[in-house]
Each structure stands twice: as C-alpha cells, then as structure tokens.
Chains A and B, each alone.
Chain A
Amino acid sequence: MSTTDAQRPRTRREAKRANPYGHVQKAIDEIDERLGVAKGGRAFLDKIFPDHWSFMLGEIALYSFVVLLATGVFLSLYYVPSQSTVVYHGMYKPLDGVRMSEAYLSSVNLSFAVRSGLLVRQMHHWAADVFIGSIVIHMARIFFTGAFRKPRETNWIIGVTMLIMAILNGFIGYSLPDDLVSGTGLRIGYSILLSIPFVGNYLAVWLWGGSFPGHIIL
C-alpha cells in the first residue's frame, strides 16, 4: 500500500480509514523486516485442509502422541530406572515386605502414593493403545487411497518408519515398570537379539551388559 506525500493521512482517524489493519500492521512490519515471513505466512494461513473424515485419522494418532508425551513427562519425573532390589514398605499392603526392583517400586508408588499418578498412568496406557491402532488405520487409509504415490513416496517411508518406532517405543514403554509382562518381554527381546546371525550374542551381551537380566537394561 503506497501513498504519496500528498495523500499521507493527517489525523489518526484518517489513518485508520486509510489502512483498516493499522493496529496489526505495525507488528507485521516489525517481524517481516527481520524474518521475511509476510508472504509465506499468508500462504500458510490460507492453507486448506481436506474436509473428508478419513483425513482426520492421522490426527487421532497425532493427538494421542501428544497425550503420550505429556503424560510420559509426568511419569518420567517419578519413575526410577533401576534394577537394584529393594523391599517394599509402602501404601499398598499386599506387597508389603516383598522384594522387588526399584523400577517396579516406583511404578507402584506412582499408582498409589503419587496424587493423580494412577490417572496419568492409565491415560498413558490407553493413549498408547489408541496411538498404535490409529497409526495402522491411518496407514490403511493412505494405502487404499493411493496417497503414497509420487510425489509422496518419502512421506510414506517416513510414516512407516514412525510406525516401527512407535511399536518399538511401545515395547520399551511397557518394559519399564518391570512387572511380569515387562520381564517376559525383555527376556524375549534378549533372545531375539541372540538369534541374529554372527553378531547376535555380541549384541545381546553388549546391550544387556552380560547375561539376562543384568542390571543396566532399564
């Protein structure tokens, strides 16, 4: 919007009439002069997203991941990744006097001693289930609508990689509390590593710091 000297507004009201966005214009000017974002920013704001419901399946995955991150941060503040043996003397009476790992003790504490700990644990658990399920459904939608074709092959590769990492993360996640499911899963993970040709036993022993269960894996 260019004005000649003769047309420059004299009063504030005239200025407002000339440029109805004046109150925002100044801010935009400052930012654009430093970052150059006015043109791209407008294109970004004008972006259209498809309205069909099947395009929102990826968002289910996205937001369940956000929930996982938020609840996961909370849980990580109380979780103790240690396999050393301790004896439980806490709020949950049936386990009183039972020898367990510190990791399991911290999980039990999260459930019973930390306020809203059980709720956060449950949210984390169900968000993880929904996460993997929605990734698969989203992947199915991409496949059956052919949205993986050129020019989106890289996108597909990235997505499949994310699926594999999500599954791996889920496995690691449920191995953390060190209960029966966790321990069995870790044992099987150790054995699967062992089965890799040539380097299997090296990999397994290095990752676990010795024979199973070791004391470093958690």
Chain B
Amino acid sequence: MLRRLLKNRYLLPTAILVVVGLGGFVGLTTAGAQTHPSTATTAVPTLYTSATTTTATAAPSASTGKPPSTTAGASHGGALVTPPGTTRTTARTHATACRKELERISYTSPPNSGSPKTSSHHSCVNGRIRTYGNTNILYASPPTSFEQAGEQLFQQVCASCHESDAQGGPLAPSLKGVGSGTVDFWVTTGRMPAATPLSVQAQTKPPKLSDRQAAEIAAWVTSLTPAPPFIPAVNTKSANLAVGASLFALNCAACHTITGAGDELAFGTNAPSLHTATATQVAEAIRSGPGNMPRFTGNLTDRQVADVVAYVTEKIQHPTNSGGFGLGGIGPVTEGFVGLLFGVGGLMLVCFWIGDRS
C-alpha cells in the first residue's frame, strides 16, 4: 500500500503544497499575535472602589449622569468627602489640601480630556485625589490599603532596575510622576518586569503578576508622586463606533494597521497587535503613551477615547468577517500567499492530473 502511494506521481507535489502551505499560512496569520491570556477586565475598579465607598463615586453607568452629592469645600463639581465626625476646621483644611493637590497633579487641558482639574467631576479623600473623569471614562486610583503590599512587591520585583525609591538608575527610568494607569498598563500586559532591561522595546509576554498585584504596585508608585493618568474604567455602552472607527483610522492605524494586527516599526521597535488588549489597557495606552507610542491627551476627549476603545474591543477584536476566514487581517501579503500557493498551486495539480507526463 505504501509502495503504491509512493509510486503515485501526485504524492510529492501535493505534499509540498500542504507542508509549505500550512507552515507559511500558520506563520503568517499568527505573526504578531499576542497569546498571553489577559485576565484584567473592566471590573478592575470594583476591586477597590468598595474600599472607598464613602467617596460615593459614580460608577460609569449611563444612568447617573450627575456628579455625586457634595459636602463642604467641593469645587468644579468635585466630591469632597470627609469622614464622619470631623470638625469644620479639619474639613476646611481638607478642602484646601484637595484643591492644592488637584492643581498640582493636573496639566492644563481642554475639558474632559484626561486632566483631573478639567474633568466633569472628581473626588478627594484625605487630601488625595481618588477619582476623576466623567460618564465616559472614570479614572480611579487604587486604594491606599494596597500601598503596603505594593511596596513589598516593588522591592522584590522592580527595585533591582528601578531602584528602591523608584527614582530609576542606569538600567531603568524613573517612575516618579508616571501615574497609576501607566504602571498598571506595563504590568498587566506583561511588559514589566522586563526580560532585557536595556532593549529598545520591552517585549510583551505573559504577565508575571496578577491584576491585583499590579494595582498594588501602582498604588505604591503613585503614592510617591501622584499624577494622572489613573486607572480608567471605560464606559463603552453609549460609544459611537463610527466616530471610533474614524479616529482609529486617523490616529492609530498608521502603526497598528487598520485591522489592529500590529506592525514592525523602526530600529527594532514594533506596534503590537490589539487583539488581546482589554478596554482598560487600551485607554491606559492612549492616555499614557507607553514607550514609543505617542501620548494622546488634550486633543482627544474622554468621549472620543471611549469611542476608540469601543471600536477596538468590538470591531477590531471581533471582526465581522462576513466573507469567511479573515486570514489574520494582514492584507495583501497573506492573500497573495494563499492565492498563489493554494489557488495556482492547486490548479497546477489539476493540470498535472489532466495532462500527461512525457
């Protein structure tokens, strides 16, 4: 039987077709795809908003559009909550501290573009800004109770490169003033702890630390020098996909490609595939500009960022592909490969069958 098979003149060309085809096909369509399982969800804020229930922060749902009720000293629609039993003098000190803190950590920016001062509402506890944002995106910083565990983790995992007070050294930059959202992004995507500290771009890999641990580290780092962006919770329910698509095409598609498949860039850097990113990670990347990615701040409102996030998590990550298998969304290269190898090659096999050998 085997001998008959080997004698068959179609065996060799078909085998070449199948091996080269499948191999190249698999290679091309999974190129750039990240395979690490991402466990972070948009429920991250709920991990710790329960610890700050007294802040009465509005969850980013469309139903509660107005800022929570305020007590003394609120400004700009912010919620300043003082624990029960405080005196009026303490409340006023809190209010001043909050105002000062708000000024200090904000950058001037058009309204609702990611800066705490110009957001629709914010909340402050014990002189520290805890949340800011609006119904589209609510930025929240991890609870202060995380800080102790965060410090421990930092010293174990991060201090070897970033130094024990996060000031940075020859191997890694300073983390002062980067914002909890930035730290959360780098750790939950697995880029940190970095495999090779001085490489041109930190490689994505399966995250070593859990989301909780990432939040803890973020809590501690941000406690040194609080700064935006905090960790965003994006409301994609009322997002406009068409606006998201246009903004994506204008701002993101150049590097990440129009299907979000990712691309190689200059000098060993690359724009990763967007297929495994969570909504939080996308918003964090947009607002913090990690690595070589530009930082989109004042020119994109939170509404527009939510639109882009919705577009990425819905259309990019779950493409319609009405025509069948999308071939990885890479474009002419894969299609040419499939068309030439399977199309022309297959038809050549048919010619082989029709014709004679000699």
Binding site for B on A (CB under 8 A): 51-57, 59-60, 92-98, 111-112, 118, 121-122, 125-126, 129-130, 133-134, 137, 180-181
A133 in contact with B241 given A56-B351, A94-B315 (CB within 8 Å): no
Q: Are A129 and B242 in contact (CB under 8 A)?
A: no
List 7 tightest A-B contacts by C-beta distance, closest first.
Answer: A129-B339, A53-B355, A51-B356, A56-B351, A133-B344, A130-B343, A133-B340
Q: Are A122 and B323 in contact (CB under 8 A)?
A: yes
Nearest-neighbour CB distance to chain B for A93, whole angstroms, equals 8
Q: Are B351 and A53 in contact (CB under 8 A)?
A: yes
Flag whether B292 is at the interface (Cβ < 8 A): no
Chain B residues with Cβ below 8 Å from A118 are: 322-323
Chain B residues with Cβ below 8 Å from A92 are: 320
Which residue of chain A has its CB nearest to the CB of B257? Answer: A180
Question: Can you name 28 A-B pairs with beta carbons within 8 Å?
Answer: A51-B355, A51-B356, A52-B355, A52-B356, A52-B358, A53-B348, A53-B351, A53-B352, A53-B355, A57-B348, A59-B351, A94-B245, A94-B314, A94-B315, A95-B242, A98-B246, A111-B322, A122-B324, A125-B335, A126-B343, A129-B336, A129-B340, A133-B339, A133-B340, A133-B344, A137-B348, A180-B253, A180-B258
Distance of A49 Cα from B315 Cα, bound (Å): 53
Flag whether B347 is at the interface (Cβ < 8 A): yes
Distance of A138 Cα from B270 Cα, bound (Å): 39
Q: Are B354 and A53 in contact (CB under 8 A)?
A: yes
Q: Are B355 and A60 in contact (CB under 8 A)?
A: no
A54, A96, A112: the one within 8 Å of B322 (CB): A112
Q: Are B242 and A96 in contact (CB under 8 A)?
A: yes
Flag whether B249 is at the interface (Cβ < 8 A): yes
Distance of A54 Cα from B356 Cα, bound (Å): 9
Nearest-neighbour CB distance to chain B for A52, whole angstroms, equals 5
Binding site for A on B (CB under 8 A): 240-242, 245-246, 249, 253, 258, 314-315, 320, 322-324, 331-332, 335-336, 339-340, 343-344, 347-348, 351-358
Q: Are B331 and A181 in contact (CB under 8 A)?
A: yes
Q: Are B351 and A94 in contact (CB under 8 A)?
A: no
- Among B249, B322, B344, the one with the most A-chain Cβ atoms within 10 Å of its Cβ is B344
Distance of A180 Cα from B250 Cα, bound (Å): 11
Chain B residues with Cβ below 8 Å from A54 are: 351, 355
Distance of A181 Cα from B329 Cα, bound (Å): 13
Nearest-neighbour CB distance to chain B for A42, whole angstroms, equals 25
Nearest-neighbour CB distance to chain B for A111, whole angstroms, equals 7
Q: Are B347 and A134 in contact (CB under 8 A)?
A: yes
A95 in contact with B245 given A52-B356, A60-B347, A134-B344 (CB within 8 Å): yes
A55 in contact with B343 given A95-B245, A181-B331 (CB within 8 Å): no
Nearest-neighbour CB distance to chain B for A120, whole angstroms, equals 11
Q: Are B355 and A56 in contact (CB under 8 A)?
A: yes
Which residue of chain B has its CB nearest to the CB of A94? Answer: B241
Given A94-B245, A129-B336, A134-B344, 7 additional A-B pairs, CB 8 A: A52-B356, A53-B353, A60-B351, A94-B315, A130-B339, A133-B339, A133-B340
Which residue of chain B has its CB nearest to the CB of A119? Answer: B323
Which residue of chain B has its CB nearest to the CB of A99? Answer: B246
Chain A residues with Cβ below 8 Å from B340 are: 129-130, 133
Which residue of chain B has its CB nearest to the CB of A49? Answer: B355
Chain B residues with Cβ below 8 Å from A133 are: 339-340, 343-344
Distance of A152 Cα from B254 Cα, bound (Å): 48
- Among B323, B336, B339, the one with the most A-chain Cβ atoms within 10 Å of its Cβ is B339
Q: Are A129 and B343 in contact (CB under 8 A)?
A: yes
Q: Are A98 and B344 in contact (CB under 8 A)?
A: no
Distance of A102 Cα from B235 Cα, bound (Å): 33
Nearest-neighbour CB distance to chain B for A17, whole angstroms, equals 40
A60 in contact with B245 given A53-B354, A112-B322 (CB within 8 Å): no
Distance of A86 Cα from B343 Cα, bound (Å): 37
Distance of A55 Cα from B357 Cα, bound (Å): 11
Which residue of chain A has its CB nearest to the CB of B339? Answer: A129
- Among A92, A97, A129, the one with the most B-chain Cβ atoms within 10 Å of its Cβ is A129
